[in-house]
């Protein structure tokens, strides 16, 4: 089922819109929206991975500090 929606464009985008073939505009908009969702999902994944990397870096720093402290007290591995 299809629905008609209004689309507001700035002047530059309106020029591009007019240059697109009439019969392909809807398909192109659908493809762009699907691509935007894929990009958003990937960015969410990347954000989660970056957060995990920061957590692991903090853990690494804490362990490195613990090793330095143990070595200072003469504790060997």
Give how far the C-alpha of residue 4 lies from the chain's centroid of Cα atoms, to the nearest Å: 30
Q: Report pLDDT for 30.
A: 93
The residues spanned by each domain of the chain are 25-72
Query: How does pLDDT run across 41-56, given as a tens digit for each residue?
Result: 999 999 999 999 999 9
pTM of the entire predicted model: 0.65
**CB-based contacts of 9: which residues, under 8 Å, 6+ apart?**
17
Low-confidence ranges of the chain (pLDDT < 50): none
**CB-based contacts of 25: which residues, under 8 Å, 6+ apart?**
17
CB 9 within 8 A of CB 18: no
Q: How many CB atoms lie within 10 A of CB 29?
A: 14
């Amino acid at each position: 089922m299809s629905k008609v929606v209004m689309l507001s464009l700035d002047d530059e985008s309106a020029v591009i819109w007019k240059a697109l073939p009439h019969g392909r505009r809807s398909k192109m908009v659908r493809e762009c929206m699907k691509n935007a969702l894929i990009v958003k999902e990937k960015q969410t994944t990347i954000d989660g991975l970056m957060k995990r990397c920061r957590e692991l870096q903090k853990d690494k720093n804490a362990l490195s500090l613990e090793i330095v402290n143990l070595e200072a007290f003469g504790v060997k591995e």
